[in-house]
Each structure stands twice: as C-alpha cells, then as structure tokens.
Chain A
Amino acid sequence: MPANDVLIIGAGLAGQRAALAAAQKGASVAIMSKVHPVRSHSVAAAGGINAAISVDDDWRSHAYDTVKGSDFLGDQDAIEIMCSEAPKEVMELEHMGVTFHRNDKGEMDLRAFGGASTKRTAYVADITGQALLHVLYEQLMKHHETVERYEEWFTTSLLKDESGRCCGVLARDIRTGKMEAFTAKNVILACGGAGQAYKPTTNGLIVTGDGIAMAYRAGAPLMDMEMVQYHPTCLVETGILITEGARGEGAHLLNANGERFMEKSAPNKMELASRDVVSRAEQIEINEGRGVGPNGEGIYLDVTVVPRKRTLEALREIVNLGRDFAGVDITREPIMIRPGQHYIMGGVKTDVDGRTPIDGLYAAGEVACVSVHGGNRLGANSLLDTLIFGRRAGEHAADRSASMGMPEVDTRPQLREDAGRIDSIIARSHDGRRVSEIKNELGELMNKHAAVFRDEAGLQGALETIGRLKEEAASAWIDDQGTVFNQDVLGAIELGYMVDCAEATVVAAIERKESRGAQFRTDYPERNDEEWLKHIDITLNGDGAPEVSYSPVTITQWQPEERKY
C-alpha cells in the first residue's frame, strides 16, 4: 500500500506546484490524477499571469485591483499574500524554463488585462497555461525520484481515521480497474473546478467538481459557491474560450449597430472592465435585441483593430481557434462570441496555507476558496492563485509531515465499500436514465438559471429540478461492463460530483439576496454591504442536505466603495 508524507490529488498547476514545493522541502510525495498531468485543464489558460514585476508597479496596486475586482468579497489578507508573493513566484517559474515573451530589452513583456490598473500580465503568446503546465511537468520528470506519479488514477473518496483526520484516499487505476488505498500524512486536493455542471462551458470534459464534492461529502465547508464566472468572450456554438488577451491587445466589442457598447457601463476601462461587468453588458445587449448573428445571441469581438503582425505573434492560438472552430479569420473579420461559464470563484474553504477545517486535508487552485477572488476573479489571477497557494499548501503540508507519524488506519472497509459502489453502478439495470442525459439536463438547467442574471423563481425551480436529477443520478445506468479503461463508470461517479456542486451553487445563490460580483439578482439588483458583506458557507448536514452559515470577510486596508470601471 503506497504511503507518503504528502499526497496530492490532481496534477494541474496547483497540484504540480504543490508536489514540487513539498519535494523540495524533503517530503516524500505522491501526485495522482485521473488524466496524464499535461492534459489537466490548466493547459487551456491562455492569456497570462499577473504579477507586479514592472519597476513602475507595486503589488499593492495589484492587490487593490483584485479586491475591487472581487467586489470587496475577497479576503484581503489572502489577496495581500498572493499579490506580494507574485513577482518572486513568476521569476521562479521563469528560472525553471517558462518561455515568457520578452520586450526589446530582453526583459519579460507585460500585456494589459481586464480590471488591472496597469500592464501587469506576463505571458507566453496565448498559451501561458500550457507553457507553465508543461514546464512544471518537466520539473516533475526531473524530480522523479522524490515525486511518485500516479497518472490515470481516479480518486473515489477521501479516507479519514476515527478522529476525523484525513489520512489518504481510495482510488481506481483506470488502466486496470484495480482499487487501491493510499495513505498519507497530509492530502492536498488540487483537482480543479466544476465547469462541466454547466453547458456550454469553456472547461474541459474532465472538470467535474471531483475535489469539491469529495471534500464536501467528507464534511468540509464550501464557500462562495454562488460566485460563478461567465467569461465575456466564448464561441457561441461550443463555448470555446477566446482569451481576454485579445481585448488586452486592444480588440473591441461591438453590438448589432456596430457600437462599442461598453462605454455605457465602463466608460474608462471599456472592454477591459472586469469580467462580470463585461459579461453583464453583453447579456443586456443580447437580451435587448442588439445581439448579432442569426438568432441575435452573439456579440462581435473585433480583433482586426490589432495590428496583424502582433495578432499572429501574440494571439496565435486564437487565430487558430477562430479558423478551426468558427471558420473565421480573426485578423480579417470580427468573430461572434457571448458570455460562457468559465470559472467558479467558490470552492473548499481554506486558510492562506491551503488548510481546510478537516485536519490533514488541504486544497489549492480552483477547487479551493481562500478567498482571493471573492465575487469575481480578475483575468490572469487564476494561474497566480494556483501557483502561490499550490506552493504554500505543498510547503505547509511538508513541514507539518516532518513531525508526524504515518497514519495507521484500516483501509479495508472503505476500500470494499468503494469497490462495491463501482460494481453496483456497472450492474445497474437499464430502467432509469442514461448518465449522459442527466448530465445534459443539469448543464442546460444551470446555464439558464444560475448564469449571468438570476432570480428567486428561476433558482428555486432549478433547486427542485436538481433534487430530481440527484435521485435519477443515483440509478443512472451505463453500458461498459469492463474493467480496463471503463470511462463510463467514472462518468457516473462524476455526475454525482457535479450534482452536488450544482446544488451548493444554487442554494448559495438563493441565499445571497443582493447583487455582487458574478451574482446578479434581478430581484435584488443592488449591492448591500450592510447585510451581505460576508461569505456564504455550505456544509453537508447529517441528513445529506446543504446547510448555510456565514463567515466574515477579512478587510485589511481597503474599505468597500462603489465599483466603477
């Protein structure tokens, strides 16, 4: 049975950064992922990573922009840590080999991004996430003697001992179907968000809320789950993302009348207002009949105003995406986009070292909520979040492990239980619905009622439907009876994870009776600091139902003020 000081679940940027940090601290490390690490969805992050590295910049300015972007729901102590540590972290990644774009002096170049008061975003063309992820994987290959990799292993549940401490996981080897118990002194969840609970979404098919749901089921509170980011520029048909870097390079947003409508809601920052503001402005244009396209459901993103050579050099990937997935040459004509589900600001509640309230359990990256993003995440802050808090969680867990003994726990009962659960899914009779049908219904439901604009009636209806889907998911059937690469049975488990995440999101969205950040309630259109300047925490109660509580927002130096861009 594998036993390690630190076991990391998920091998995207947060997970790999945590693994590297823990290994450098001398801990024995294992990292497990249901896909090969370079397939992790961090790979799709395009635009860049924020850090106040310019001599004219100050991390406090970055922190203020982040606080304002969060609509003052972000915890300022955590934001200060993230922004002040950013320059050093980015330099460290540069030293590892990330091929950051340079200016004419040979220094790292910076581009403009939404919600930022200055150019602060370091980038590698528009494949920044891929470059970071692949370079971290290079480091894992380099440190193969101290970091064991379990690639294509699916975690089925967290293991806890009698005292309630997390001391490992149960997992299934996807290639062989074998179940195994992994014990560890500390477990770090780094398995991303839950975008697949929405349809369409910019997120990959693997982003199914596994870590959020596993922690939630193990008793950990979820925080800020109502805060779901809609990215302003996604392809209409598929939801594929066009990077904010496009607007950072100067691209315009136009409605059917050819107007730059952002001047109505953000006269100063225009297209580079924060994402919640831009997405709402777009949705208003669409809802009021000024959308473009055959059904008026899109907005034009006009990249032709950016010099063509610059576009080909710095926005190469979206030139390809436009050509291949929309049939449009973005250097010659505008491309039709609309807001699409992109990121969840909420997640497993942690402190600034990634610790959750469950002893021995950490979380970092999109799965976690520190909270540095609050009501709305700024573009290019997510890569930073994964690296800073991934590293901090890895270091803290490693330090803590040094003085701990390896947990002794009888893993057999839970191993039998999880194996039995998988067998019973495979054995289900074809009475109920297919997993794929339920997943589609859930995604469309969420995209309708828990999207850019929300209201009580829609959310209550959604909650009711989720209750039905939850029941249906419990008896949903699959085709694959095999053990080798049975993705079908994993899909059934993932569906359960997504339903849990969706439920927490809707419950929190009903609870928050105000409009803040990504949560816009048409029935409560104003921000209400007096009553709602607080986090909503969701915990699973004894009956398996979500229970709401609150926690305060940490304010250090920036008092809430009206948010204008």
Chain B
Amino acid sequence: MPAEAHDKPPEQFTLRLRRYDPESGEAPYWDEHTVELAPHRSVLEAILQAKDRFDGSIGVRCSCRQAICGSCGIRVNGEPALACHTHLDAAKRSAKDGVIEIEPMGNMPVLKDLVVDMDAVHWKKIQRVTPWLLPKQPVPEREYIVSKESMVDVTQTMGCIQCGACVSDCLAMEVDPGFIGPAALAKAYRFVGDPRDDEQFERLNDLAQDPQGIFDCTHCFKCVEACPKDVNPMGQIMRLRRIATSDHHIVDQNNGERHEKTMVGLIRDYGLLHEAEMLPRSYGGYSWFAKFTPAAGKELTSSLPSILKAVLRGKVSIKKAIFGHKIPSADLKAVQAIYDKVESREERYELNLYIVGEDEAPEPVAASPEGSAN
C-alpha cells in the first residue's frame, strides 16, 4: 500500500512569518500563526490556511500549487524554496526551534511580506542574455532536424520555472549585484545548447568577455541546491565555459579561459594545486618569462591581501605556496591516468543525469516525502 505517510492525521504547525508593510512606515517584523494540516501538506497550504482563517493581508504570490508556475519562491528556515514544494514535516525538522520560519527571497527588494520585486533583479538579468532564439537561416518549411539528445538536453533549462530561488541565495550576486547570475545564465545555455540557434559564438563571447558573466560564478553550489526543478544552473554555467573555451577558444579579457586551463594543467602536473604557478601560467602558459608580464604583476599585487590572509589563517604555508604540494608518485600517476582516459574520448564527457537518466536501482527506494522537500 503506497503513500502510508499520507494517511497521517492533521497536526499543528506554527509559522513565523516575516511581514513587511511598505505603507506603514514600520520596519519588517515577525508574525506567528498556528495552523492544522497533515504533515505531508505543503508550507504554501499552511500559509494559505493562515491567510484564510486569521489574516487575509499576508502577501504571497502563488497559483498552481504543484511547482510549475514558479510564483511561490520564499525562504524556509533560511533556505530558498518553493512554498508549495516544501513539506511541513520536513520544514519543521529543519527549523531551529520547531517553528517554521518563512521569509521573502534574498537578493531582491521586498515589496510586501513575502512578495519581492523580481522585475528589478531577476527579469532584468534574464533580458541581459538575449533570451530568444536567433534561428539559423534559412528557416525550414517543416521542423528543424536536430538530434533527440540535443532537445532533451536544452529541455533541462527549458524546465526552469523562473521562481528565483537560485537568485535568492547566489553568493556571487550578494558580493557583486551586477553578476548575471544562475537563472539568466541557465537561460543562456538554453540557446547556446540549442542547435537551431545561429549565434552560439556571439552569445558565448558576450558572456565570457563580460566581467559579470560566466567567469564571475564562484562554484558555491547554492543554486544547485536551491533549484526545485533540477535545472542545475551552476552546471549550465560550467558548460557555457567549456563550450566557450574548448570549442570556440574564446580568450576573454577576464582571464577566465587561461585560468581554467592552468588549473587543469597544474593538477595534471602536480596532482594538487600549485598556487605559486597559478598566475604565471594563467598569463604566459608554460613560458618561464611569463612570470614577469605586467598583467601578471598587476594581478599578483591585487591578490596580495588574499594571499596574506590565506597564509595568516593557515590555509596555505609559504613553503607549500612556493614549492607546491607533493603527492606520492603512484597517486600522481593515477590522477594522470584519469586525465588520459577522459581526454582520449572523442566527445567531451558530459556528466548530465538529465540526459542519461539514472541507472536501474536494484531495490525499490522507499517512497518518502522527506527527501524531496526544499
């Protein structure tokens, strides 16, 4: 009998809602309501029950209740989520004190209560990436003939519901509000990866040269965790980088391409990162003289405070920074064998579960609503 978890009777859940009334002249405040619902029901249903029974003035965007319209992006216990896609029992478990804390999303101005101004941030960024197909000419009479895999591939980013959860907690955007950001760059991949688009190079060159483009992402994985639809925004950003660098050899003014190459090369050579070689190689490849190019010097100077901090905090020792890390030669050979195997493939290895699907699991996985929340 499936869905045993769904036979549980209603329980009480307390919500602590972040309220803000722009007309009151007052600062935001916390408001608590206790609702009664079965534990597998959603945080959205809880908010709506509070709205229906106690206070109709709670502001929250919502419509479909099934994680497809993208309206109800919020923060639950500090983490971005869709309200309709978060189970109450899971939310209660992740709460500090048993009270489910609900706030508006971050990185966007709050208009009222849980309603944020997505136009000012999210949609502005989407518009930045020329978000429409620039079709290859001539347009065929019937459909474009393209591979099945390519359409399934871009359907992953097509599946983005524009909820803003990834934007809410993008750390790079917190530091640099001008960063194009995870949602818009995932949208960019939707065209870059589409074989019917005519301007793959122009799109990539644009996003690579922009100091706030694809090389501004700091790989923090926040967007991957936040996304309720498995769009994997950071993964799409990395794919944009790979196509820009490996396929189009776009050498960008942000030094992103060379930095990436250097990183890959250093690990092949040493098994671990060799910090002191980073800058010289980024600027001059394997040439010994390149250490002295003015650009490298300039970047070294600007990086000095970070280097100093890293040394002071014990993240790196001066000796290791200068002479590099050493790993046993057997291990190094193993690392290099991985390189050989991956690089000898004719096609680039795309670790994309969306396309290949999961392997057949031998045992049925117990159905549980918990794993899916957030």
Contacts and interface: CB of A to CB of B under 8 A. Distances in A.
Contact of B148 (A102, A175, A481, A484): A102
Given A41-B69, A484-B22, A335 B2 contact: yes
A435 B55 CA distance: 12
Contacts of A175: 111
Nearest to B7: A294
Interface in A91-106: 91, 94-97, 99-106
Interface in A292-322: 294, 308-309, 312-313, 317, 320-321
Interface string A122-162: 00110100110011001101100000000100000000000
A138 B132 contact: yes
Interface in B345-374: 357-358, 360, 364-365, 367-369, 372
B147 interface: yes
B115 interface: yes
A329 interface: yes
A257 B159 CA distance: 38
B10 interface: no
A487 interface: yes
A457 to B, nearest CB: 31
Contact of B3 (A241, A336, A484): A336
A39 B61 CA distance: 10
Nearest to A436: B52
B313 interface: no
Nearest to B150: A102
B364 A205 contact: no
B6 interface: yes
Interface in A106-121: 106-109
A49 to B, nearest CB: 13
A381 to B, nearest CB: 20
A507 to B, nearest CB: 28
B367 A328 contact: yes
Contacts of A491: 56
B133 A326 contact: no
A35 B71 contact: yes
A97 B133 contact: yes
A104 B148 contact: yes
B369 A327 contact: yes
Contacts of A97: 132-133, 135, 191, 194, 196
Nearest to A200: B65
B132 A134 contact: no
Given A100-B151, A127-B158, A141-B132, A94 B144 contact: yes
Contacts of A332: 364-365, 367
A484 to B, nearest CB: 5
Contacts of A484: 21-23, 111-112
Interface residues of B, number: 72
A95 B143 CA distance: 7
Contacts of B145: 105-107
A483 interface: yes
B85 interface: yes
Interface string B43-80: 00000000111011101111111111111000000000
A240 B66 contact: yes
A130 to B, nearest CB: 6
Contacts of A141: 126-127, 131-132
Instruction: Point out which of B23, B55, B59, B64 has the most chain A C-beta atoms below 10 A from its C-beta.
Output: B64
Contact of B367 (A130, A323, A481): A323
A478 interface: yes
B57 A328 contact: no
A205 B51 CA distance: 14
Contacts of A327: 2-6, 40, 367-369
A336 B2 contact: yes
Q: Is the interface of B mostly helix, strand, loop or mixed?
A: loop
Nearest to B130: A142
B85 to A, nearest CB: 6
A463 B51 CA distance: 29
Given A107-B143, A138-B133, A324 B369 contact: yes
B67 A324 contact: yes
Contact of A326 (B3, B52, B148): B3
Instruction: Point out which of B135, B154, B158, B364 has the most chain A C-beta atoms below 10 A from its C-beta.
Output: B158
Instruction: Point out which of A39, A104, A108, A317 has the most chain B C-beta atoms below 10 A from its C-beta.
Output: A39
Interface string A468-511: 00000000001111111111100100000000000000000000
Contact of B162 (A38, A105, A142): A38
B278 interface: no
B88 interface: no
Contacts of A324: 67, 85, 369, 372
Contacts of A464: none
Contact of A103 (B23, B141, B148): B148
Interface in B137-161: 139, 141-148, 150-152, 154-155, 158-159, 161
A434 interface: yes
A446 interface: no
A485 B22 CA distance: 10
B159 A127 contact: yes
Contacts of B171: none
Contacts of A142: 132
Contacts of B364: 329, 332-333
B357 A124 contact: no
Contact of A479 (B23, B57, B69, B365): B57
Contacts of A488: 56-57
A212 interface: no
Contacts of A100: 143, 151
Instruction: Point out which of A100, A131, A134 has the most chain B C-beta atoms below 10 A from its C-beta.
Output: A134
A429 interface: no
Given A35-B63, A124-B158, A328 B3 contact: yes
Nearest to A138: B132
Given A97-B132, A130-B161, A44 B66 contact: yes
15 contacts: A39-B64, A94-B143, A102-B150, A106-B148, A139-B132, A205-B64, A332-B364, A336-B3, A436-B53, A480-B56, A480-B57, A483-B23, A484-B22, A485-B59, A485-B115
Given A99-B194, A324-B67, A482-B21, 20 more contacts: A39-B63, A41-B64, A43-B68, A43-B161, A95-B139, A97-B132, A97-B191, A101-B148, A102-B151, A107-B142, A125-B159, A127-B155, A127-B159, A134-B162, A204-B64, A204-B65, A308-B360, A323-B369, A327-B368, A479-B56
Question: 6 shortest A-B CB distances, which residue pairs?
Answer: A97-B133, A480-B57, A204-B63, A436-B52, A479-B56, A106-B145
